[in-house]
Amino acid sequence: MPLTPDQLAETEALRATPRPTLRAVAPGMEAHLYRPIPVLDHGFVRVVDYMGDDAAICQAARVSYGRGTKSVQGDEGLIRYLMRHWHSTPFEMCEVKLHVKLPMFVARQWIRHRTANVNEYSARYSILDREFYIPDPSSLAAQSSVNNQGRGETLTNDEAARVLDWLKGDAARAYDHYEAMISQEGQQGLARELARMNLPANIYTQWYWKVDLHNLFHFLRLRADSHAQYEIRVYAEAICTVVRDWVPHAWAAFEDYRLGGLTLSARAAALLRRRLAGEVVAFEDSGLSRGEWREFVEEWGEQPPLTPS
């Protein structure tokens, strides 16, 4: 289960004892505070603490006294301007601290985003739980033939069943040996910091992850993208639901200019101008590499040949 009964009880106790404050609060985030959002089979994301809201972004941009709010419409326009022109520091005035439970191999991807503060559950001092990520059969796919980092066709029922048997069996066997190494009857068990090296990468770990909004947006732009690995993408999508409620104006601008926007190289922009001018441009005279051409066509479509007038 994502949370133990004790953790659930603690969460309910925290939510049952609100505290008065003079600092700015975001009603949308208050609704999420402490509540876990289930992810994968045993994971979750939950907000532990946060600072700032849409008004804090505008306050920093205007460097004014108090909350800095001119008007709701003015704040929204200012935030869109900041996002559109890549002014990042005002977004750094907002921070969030998340408690995340995730498979170890997802954590190793996640930690590549280094502009955050992390404190992870330590298997040197504590014993990891017998919880492993076992994918749904629909998530089991072959290696992509065109993308070295991606998945291709979904495995057939028989192939998927065989892979699932291996995943479950190997995880259980590794954990049995882990337990045996640290608790040998009548003998001194192996140190936990050594015994953990035999555990599989699909075992669950937990951490607290604190990040400012600017760097969180960078994380979400990469990890909530359809090309991101499914197992980290679902965590990013869960965080997206939190951010949408926390800073709605900033989220709308981010969704418009980053998630839904496109970035063109100088060569691709020149190619698009040629097409808009009515020129039929083939790959051979596009000036793009094959990979760039494939991505360009994916976004802008094939160009139909000109028909004689």
Q: What digits encode the pLDDT tens for the residues 3-36?
A: 778 888 888 888 888 888 888 899 999 999 999 9
Please give the single-letter amino acid code of residue 308: P
Q: State the pTM of this model.
A: 0.88
Evaluate whether 103 touches 55 at the Cβ level (below 8 Å): no
pLDDT of residue 215: 98
39: number of CA atoms within 13 Å, CB side? 27
Higher-confidence residue: 262 or 172?
A: 172
pLDDT of residue 5: 84
Averaged pLDDT of the chain = 90
Split at pLDDT 50, 70, 90, the class of 1 is low
Residue 257 neighbours by CB under 8 Å, 6+ apart: 80, 83, 84
pLDDT of residue 174: 96
pLDDT of residue 63: 82
Q: What digits encode the pLDDT tens for the residues 114-163?
A: 999 999 999 888 899 999 999 999 888 877 666 666 666 888 888 999 99
| Strand pairing class (95-103; 204-212) | antiparallel
Give the active site residues.
223
- In the chain, the domains with their CATH numbers are 5-130+204-259 (3.30.1360.170), 137-198 (no CATH), 266-300 (no CATH)
Residue 171 neighbours by CB under 8 Å, 6+ apart: 132, 134, 200, 202, 203
